Chain A
Amino acid sequence: MDTSQLLKGVLDLAVLAVLRKDDGYGYDVVRRLRAGGLNDVGDASVYGTLRRLYNAGMLTSYVVPSEEGPHRKYYSINETGRARLAESRETWRSFASTLDGLLEEVAA
C-alpha cells in the first residue's frame, strides 16, 4: 500500500509532533520526520503543511539570520498547536486501535 496516501491525512499530526520539543526550520522538520521513519515524506508536502498550520494559528515563526545563504525561518508550536496535537493524538489512537481490531478480525 502506498504510504504517501496514508501520510496525507496524518502529516499535520506528525509535523506538530516533531515540533513539540524543539523549534525547527523547514528542512529541519523534513529531516526529523525522515529520522523518525517517515522516509517517503515529500519536502514540498512538509513545507506546505507548515504553511497551513501556521495560517491556522497553530505555529508561530521567527527568522534567524544566517552568515552564508538565506535566512532560516523557524517554526515553533504554540498553545493552540499543542491543544490540537493532544486532540489529534487521541483521535489517531482510537482510530488506529479500531483499525487494528478490524485487521485482527481479518487475520483471525
Chain B
Amino acid sequence: MNTQALGVEHYLAGMRAALDDLPPNEVAEIMEDVEAHVAELSTELGANESVEQRLGPPEQYARELRQAAGYPPRTERLPVTTKKQFLSRPRAAAWGLAGGTGVTLLAGAAALREPAVLLLPVVILVLSLALVNDRGPTQQEIMNLPETVRLKKWLTPEPGTPAERAITYLRSLQPAWWLVRAGLLGLGAVLLAGRDIFGFLAIAAVAVVSVFAGPRAKADRRWLWFSLPASALAVGLLFQVIDVTAGQLGYNASRSSYPAPMMETYENIYAYDENGKLLTNVLLYDQDGNPINASRQYYGCRTGDPEPVIPANRYPRPKIDYENGTCYTVTPSATAPSSAPASSAPPSSSPPSSGQPSSGQPSSGQPSSGSTPSSSVPPTSVSPSK
C-alpha cells in the first residue's frame, strides 16, 4: 500500500516534469485529471503490478497526452526554470495564507475593540491569493512545496494509529465546525452592531459566506484563503468573548464577596440574669421597635392553631414534646442549640452572664427534674392559645 502510494507520487512527479514547459494553469488542469486517474488505477493494481506497467513510463504518457491534446511537443526548459527557486509565487502565497490566518487570529481577538485591525490580514490574504489565483483549483504547486508535503504527511499518520483515528474523527466534525464558525462570527457581528456599522457588515458577510466556503474549499483550494482565516477570526472572537465574560464574572464575584446579610442559624434564645437565672417570656426588639425573631422556622406548639400562637420574638421559645403533646420551655442543653459546637461553649455549662463560675449550673435556681440528666426544666408551660 505504502510502496504503491510512493509509486503514484513518483509517477506524478515524472508527469509534472514532462509537462513543465506548458503554462502552469494548464499543467494544473491536466494534473487534476491525471492524479485522479493514477490514484483510481492504483487501487485496481495487483500486488506485483506497478502504475508504470499499466500506463507506460510517465514520459510516454505525457507525450501521448500532449499529442492528443494538441500541445506542442516538449521543449527544453530554460536553465532558469530548472533551478529550484527559493522564493516562488506558490511559496509566497502559501506563507501569505499561513501568515494571514495567524494575523487574523490575533486581529480577531481585538476585533470587537477595534474592527479596523481586520484590514491588515485582509490585505495579506488578497495579495497572496492574487499570486496563485490563476493556478487552478487544486493549487498543485503549493501542494508540492516541501513544507506542504511535510505538513500533509504530519496530518495523515499511519492508518490504525490513535493519531490517525483522532484526525479522522476531527475531520468528521468539520461540517459541524462550519456551522459553529458561522454562529461565532454572527455573534461577533451582533456584538459590534451597536458601535461599528462597517465592522458589523463585514463580519456578518464573512459569517454568511463562511457557510458555503467550507464545502467549497474541498473542491477548490482557493477557497482556503477565505475558509482558514474565517476559522481564525471565529476563534479570535471566541477568545475575546470569553475574555470579556470572564472579566465580568470576576467583577460580579468580587461584588458578591462583600459581607452578605449574616445568616442566623440559631432557633432559640436564652436570656439569663446576672445571677445566672434563666429568664422566661423575654421579648426582644431592635432599635426600631421591630421584633427580633430567630430566623429558623418556628413552629407553634400545636399544629393547626392559628399562627402566630405566641409572639415569635418571645424567648425562650417553647418546644413541643411530641410524645406527650405538651408545650414547655426547654433549657438550653449541650445538644439543643444546633449551631453551637457542644464542647466549645454550650450555654448550659457557661451561661453568658458575667461573674458566674463556669462550673455553676444555670439551672441551679430551678428545681431540676431528676429524670433527665441534662437540666431540662419542666413546665413553665405556655398555653398555645394564650
Contact = CB atoms under 8 A, between A and B. Distances in A.
Interface of A: 8, 11, 25-27, 42-52, 54-55, 63-66, 69-73
B61 A43 contact: yes
Contact of B64 (A27, A42, A69): A42
Contact of A48 (B68, B137, B218): B68
A15 to B, nearest CB: 10
Contact of B69 (A49, A64, A65, A70): A49
B263 interface: no
B65 A48 contact: yes
Interface of A is mostly: helix
B68 A43 contact: no
7 contacts: A25-B33, A26-B34, A43-B41, A44-B55, A44-B61, A51-B69, A69-B36
Contact of B37 (A8, A43, A63): A43
A71 B34 CA distance: 11
A102 to B, nearest CB: 28
A92 to B, nearest CB: 18
Contacts of B34: 26, 47
A70 B35 CA distance: 7
B277 interface: no
Contacts of A48: 64-71
Q: Which residue among A11, A43, A45, A49 has the maximum number of chain B CB atoms within 10 Å of its CB?
A: A43
A57 B321 CA distance: 103
B33 A51 contact: yes
Interface residues of B, number: 31
Contacts of B67: 45, 48
B36 to A, nearest CB: 5
B30 interface: yes
B62 interface: yes
Contacts of A52: 68-70
A11 B60 CA distance: 19
Nearest to B60: A44
Contacts of A71: 32, 36, 138, 218-219
A63 B219 contact: yes
Contacts of B39: 69-70
B36 A25 contact: yes
A33 to B, nearest CB: 13
Contacts of A46: 68
B68 A11 contact: yes
Given A48-B65, A51-B30, A73-B32, A27 B218 contact: no
Contacts of B29: 51, 54, 73
Nearest to A54: B29
A101 to B, nearest CB: 30
A48 B138 CA distance: 19
B76 interface: no
Contact of A63 (B32, B64, B70): B32
Contacts of A45: 64-65, 67-68
Contacts of A49: 68-69
Contacts of A51: 26, 29-30, 33, 65, 68-69
A50 B36 CA distance: 14
Nearest to B54: A43
Interface in B336-372: none
B218 A26 contact: no
B40 interface: yes
A73 B136 CA distance: 12
B187 to A, nearest CB: 29
B164 interface: no
A86 to B, nearest CB: 22
Given A47-B65, A65-B215, 18 more contacts: A26-B33, A26-B34, A26-B37, A27-B36, A43-B55, A44-B65, A46-B68, A48-B68, A48-B69, A48-B71, A51-B26, A51-B30, A51-B65, A54-B29, A63-B32, A63-B220, A70-B39, A71-B32
A52 B68 CA distance: 7
Contacts of B26: 51
B36 A72 contact: yes
Nearest to B30: A51
B64 to A, nearest CB: 4
A6 to B, nearest CB: 14
B261 to A, nearest CB: 63
A50 B220 contact: no
Contacts of A26: 33-34, 36-37
A64 to B, nearest CB: 7
Contacts of A43: 37, 41, 55, 61
